[in-house]
Amino acid sequence: MANEASHVVRVLVVSDVRIVQEGLQCVLAGRDAVEVVGTVDTLHAVEKSAQLRPDVVLFDAARHDSVDLLKNLVASAPNSRVVAFGVKETDGEILALAAAGTAGYVCNGAETSDVVKVLERVMCDELPCSPRAAASLYRRVATLSRRAAGVGNDGVPLSPRELQIAQLIDCGLTNKQIGRELGIEAATVKNHVHNMCEKLDVHRRGEAAARIRALSRARAQMSTSAPDANPALEAT
């Protein structure tokens, strides 16, 4: 019995719709592998999660601002896996959920057995990913890798000078200061910045420098991650 109990997934259900809370609690209550330890609305989700420390937080992602709420919840509950449900499974939503740090998702057409399967397997980091989700994330990773290597949206790599200028911008230097540092005119620096922003599809010099820094960090993190690690998952 002790061995069986160790496999029970403790779940906190988060939704602003009471009938959704009660419905999920009811259908999951009959499953031996799942224990619903509580239900809560999004306003009190962080507090309730900290109190109960569930294995999985099952989060209703139907709200338009759910991604921001998910980010806060994931950040505040590092020892819990957050799984979104009610997902429409568009490319944009899948990528947004992955970026928010969710451990998986359940599409809005899933059945109860699908939800249970997700909850069980997310604890083992073994959730299967649909071909659609896999393709979307693979393309995104490839894009991040190209950009982190200094390649813009149009496939044109940033020049060594542009990368050099971006680093100096990131250090807080003005165009005039960068010109003095590199021995070139401020107008030349301005042209490099303009070209760099176009390649990276941003509008401000600071955004360009931040984009290069963030993407370089993402590439470094991806290189140390397992090749099959994938945070955007779905029920099968």
Per-residue pLDDT tens for 18-55? Answer: 999 999 999 898 888 889 999 999 999 999 999 999 99
Tell me: pLDDT of 148 over 70. Answer: no
Tell me: pLDDT of 220 over 90. Answer: no
Q: Give the pair of three-digit tokens for residue 160.
A: 């060594």
pLDDT digits over 93-111, tens only? 888 888 888 888 888 888 8
Tell me: pLDDT of 146 over 70. Answer: no
Segment 204-225 shows an average pLDDT of 68
pLDDT digits over 111-139, tens only? 878 888 888 888 887 665 677 777 777 77
Tell me: pLDDT of 60 over 70. Answer: yes
Confidence at 59, pLDDT banded by 50, 70, 90:
very high
Tell me: pLDDT of 219 over 60. Answer: no
| Beta carbons of 193 and 165 less than 8 angstroms apart | yes
Which fold is adopted by the domain 138-223? Arc Repressor Mutant, subunit A (1.10.10)
Confidence at 223, pLDDT banded by 50, 70, 90:
low
Would you give the distance in Å from CA 43 to the centre of its chain? 21
Greatest Cα pair distance in the chain? 76
Tell me: pLDDT of 189 over 60. Answer: yes
Structural domain 2-127, CATH architecture: 3-Layer(aba) Sandwich (3.40)
CA proximity to 12, closest of 83, 64, 63: 83
Domain-wise residue ranges, the chain? 2-127, 138-223
Confidence at 83, pLDDT banded by 50, 70, 90:
very high
CA proximity to 87, closest of 106, 115, 111: 106
- pTM across the whole model: 0.58
Mean pLDDT for the chain overall: 79
